[in-house]
Structure formats: C-alpha cells, structure tokens
Amino acid sequence: AETVGEGIPIYYSKIEHFFIRHPGGYQLNGTPRVAVWCSADRGEHWERSGYFGVEQSHFLFQAEIDGPHWIRFAGPGQGIVEVPPGMPHRIYVVDRHPPRIEMRVEPAPWYLNEQEQRVPRTYQIGEEVTLHWSVYDAYLVSETIYLGTCFAKFPRNLVWSRFPKALPASGSMRIEIPAESIGGGGLRFRMEATDKAGNVGVAMTEVLRIAGMELAIAEPIGRPVGPSDVIQQTQGTPGPRPGWPNAGAMLRGGTSVVLNWMPESVADYDTVELHFSADDGRTWRAVATGLKPGREARWTVPAVTSKICRLRLVAVAAGGQQTMLAETARFTVDTVLPDTALGPKPLEPAE
C-alpha cells in the first residue's frame, strides 16, 4: 500500500462502504474490544465509529463524504509510542468521482457562418489538427492517460485504436488526418484516465467530418465492371499499400490474397489479426492470425457477395481486449456460385 509520513498506509475506495481490517488480525474472545475512531478533518476532530465484534476480522465503515478518513484504533495492543496521539494508524480515501477530462480540437469541428449559424467544418486528408487536453483529479494515477482514435460514427465504432504511450495530465499534439477516416465515416478522438480508487474517466471529441466522406460511405457506383477488373486489388497493385483494398475495389470470393502492407504500429504488439466484415463492420471474422511486420500475410476472401465489406487489422491483448490499428473503406466481394444441373434426376439402371 501507499504510505505517508512515518509509514502510515493509505487505501483508496470508490464507494462509501469499505472494510477496515483488525490491527491484530481479529478480535480475541474474552479481551476488551478494539474501538475504531475516525477523523474526516485531518485530526482536528475525532469520533468513535464503533467496535470490532467478537472474532471479527473486519469492521464495515460507511463514509459520509469523499476525501481522506483518518482511522485510529483504541484498545489492547494499540500503544501510543509508535503512533503519536492525534495521528492515524491508517488513512482511507473515499473517491467516488472519475477523473475529469477536457479535450479540444483546433480548428474546431464547428464554426459560425456569416448568418451566425453553427455549421460543421470539413477537414482534408493530410491536414494537421491540434488536440489539446487536460485531466483533473486529486488522486490521478500517472501513466494511465491514453489517447485513442476511431474511424466511424456511433454505434459502429466498437473498436478503438490506442496510442502505445501514456500521456501527461495536460498537453497538446499535432495529428495528421489519415486516409482511413474517409471510408469510416469520420474521425473521432477519445481519452481515458484512471485514479487511485479505480475510477475511469472517459472523454470524446465530436466526429470530425472529412472531405469525400459522403461519397466513400455511399454504395459504390461506377462504370460496369468487366472480367479484367474483378481481381484488380487482390495482388496489391496499384496503390501505396500493397494488398490493402482501396475504396470501391472488387474482390472475388474464394480467391487467395497477399497483404504486403501493415502500419508501423503493428511492431508494438505481439498478437495481430486480420478481420473481415461483410456487413459494414457490424460483425467480424478472423481471416488471418499471427501477423508480423515485414512479413506478407495470405488470406482467403470469404465466399460472400456484398458491396459493404471491410478489412481491419486488430491487436489482441492477453485478456481479449482489441485495439484497431487500421481499417479499410468499403469494398465489394463477388462470389460466383457453382453451376447447378437442372432437370429430372437420371433413373438408376434396371437390374
């Protein structure tokens, strides 16, 4: 436990009820009971909260307010030499409020036009935005402030990516808007922080609208597709991300695809999987596992027919927590059904 002063332990609770352990292990039968005294004003005033019952190892305490509660025991074995009068044997801090997080994006997602109307701002791919943040909590745990992003609007943004390094309690950073935010329906930032009582604070920015987002998330419409266009993305050309389907690309169901591109963040994780969705991200299935940076990944396009397919790279922690590293825009998968023989079933030859 955390200590203060002359080795006085400090414990934290996120609820008003908590147990105080008996200083001697448990209340012995036939000996005077140990009393529990409490001060909520750092030793200026003390009140007796009660006694340990016979053979009782823990005392159930109820705090009326948040903040530190000094606890002192009175009874057999509680000498005043080790802990001077007026000082606690233990300190229990009640904190029922999560960290407060403030986030601000510049330029702001909304602005006032000439008619003083609030209208959404449209950002460009490659444009840099500045994210400012401040986290407030008296008992904030350092190294627990993390920033995440998601390329979508609710309720489809179930998987958030997370920056691998913890952030300070206040600061700012410049972030370049990635191309993935077009097909996902926009870009959103989220920050989380934890205090010593275990409360988790979460804050999110509004969705940043990206230029071309409306066209990318619409159903792919274009010229008729000929036979030579069907598998144009399966071998990873053209484009700067070999094997990563571009928006509106068409893949043939049942074919094998080689993925030669992965983001640099893959190197920060031990387990990375490739997931496929045929319903615009509502459900996912793993199509390749054990992906490593610098190695090609081969996967088979599922035998489906859908115009709203997506791929994503996901890091999977030991506890099952998923962190999205990259996601494609919508693309199409077309599966050719095998020929079916029609007509009456041939008769068995007569014996």
Q: Phi, psi (5° rounding) for residue 278?
A: -105, 0
Least confident interval from 21-35, 117-131, 162-176, 237-251:
237-251
| Same domain, yes or no: 275 and 202 | no
Last residue of a domain, one of 193, 214, 235: 214
Last residue of a domain, one of 74, 94, 114: 94
pLDDT at 222 over 50: no
Report the pLDDT value the prediction gives residue 50, as an integer from 0 to 100. 94
| Same domain, yes or no: 164 and 193 | yes
Q: In this predicted model, what pLDDT tens digit does every residue of 101-111 receive, in sequence order?
A: 999 999 999 88
Across 19-40, average pLDDT? 90
| Same domain, yes or no: 138 and 86 | no
| Same domain, yes or no: 231 and 181 | no
Q: Does a structural domain hold residue 342?
A: no
Residue predicted with more confidence, 25 or 181? 25
| Same domain, yes or no: 172 and 88 | no
Prior bond of 238 cis (ω within 30°): yes
Q: Does a structural domain hold residue 344?
A: no
| Same domain, yes or no: 49 and 107 | no
CA 194 to chain centre: 13
Report the pLDDT value the prediction gives residue 165, as an integer from 0 to 100. 87
- With beta carbons less than 8 A apart as the criterion, state whether 71 and 38 touch: yes
Across 122-138, average pLDDT? 93
| Same domain, yes or no: 208 and 227 | no
CATH number where 132 lies: 2.60.40.1930
How many CB atoms within 10 Å of residue 325? Answer: 22
3-state secondary structure of 312: strand
- With beta carbons less than 8 A apart as the criterion, state whether 159 and 273 touch: no
Task: Name which of 322, 219, 307, 220 is nearest 275 in CA terms.
Answer: 322
| Same domain, yes or no: 253 and 268 | yes
Give the range with max mean pLDDT: 34-48, 82-96, 220-234. Answer: 34-48
Least confident interval from 39-48, 258-267, 294-303:
258-267
| Same domain, yes or no: 87 and 110 | no
Q: Does a structural domain hold residue 340?
A: no
Q: Does a structural domain hold residue 347?
A: no
**Residue recorded with tokens 């014996």:** 351
| Same domain, yes or no: 178 and 126 | yes
- Rounded percentage of the chain residues whose pLDDT exceeds 90: 36
Task: Name which of 348, 343, 274, 258 is nearest 315 in CA terms.
Answer: 274
Report the pLDDT value the prediction gives residue 130, as an integer from 0 to 100. 95
Side-chain-facing half-sphere of 340: CA atoms under 13 Å = 5
Q: In this predicted model, what pLDDT tens digit does every residue of 304-348 receive, in sequence order?
A: 998 889 898 888 877 667 787 888 888 899 887 665 555 566 666
Q: In this predicted model, what pLDDT tens digit does every residue of 51-75 receive, in sequence order?
A: 999 889 999 999 999 999 999 998 8
Contacts of 227 by beta carbon, 8 Å cutoff, 6+ apart: none
- With beta carbons less than 8 A apart as the criterion, state whether 32 and 66 touch: no
* Distance from C-alpha of 222 to C-alpha of 232, rounded to nearest angstrom: 15
Strand partners, 200: 194
Last residue of a domain, one of 50, 68, 94: 94
| Same domain, yes or no: 208 and 107 | yes
pLDDT at 133 over 90: yes
Structural domains in the chain (count): 3
The domain in which residue 254 lies consists of: 222-334
- With beta carbons less than 8 A apart as the criterion, state whether 131 and 189 touch: yes
Report the pLDDT value the prediction gives residue 188, as an integer from 0 to 100. 87
Q: Does a structural domain hold residue 349?
A: no
Q: Does a structural domain hold residue 296?
A: yes
CATH number where 305 lies: 2.60.40
pLDDT at 284 over 70: yes
CA distances from residue 278 to 42, 66, 180, 253, 307 in whole angstroms, order as listed? 61, 49, 18, 11, 8
CA quadruple 60, 63, 67, 72: dihedral sign: negative
**Residue recorded with tokens 């390094």:** 165
pLDDT at 18 over 80: yes
CA quadruple 25, 29, 31, 36: dihedral sign: positive
Report the pLDDT value the prediction gives residue 227, as an integer from 0 to 100. 32
What single DSSP character describes residue 176? E
Q: Does a structural domain hold residue 341?
A: no
| Same domain, yes or no: 140 and 75 | no
Q: Does a structural domain hold residue 350?
A: no
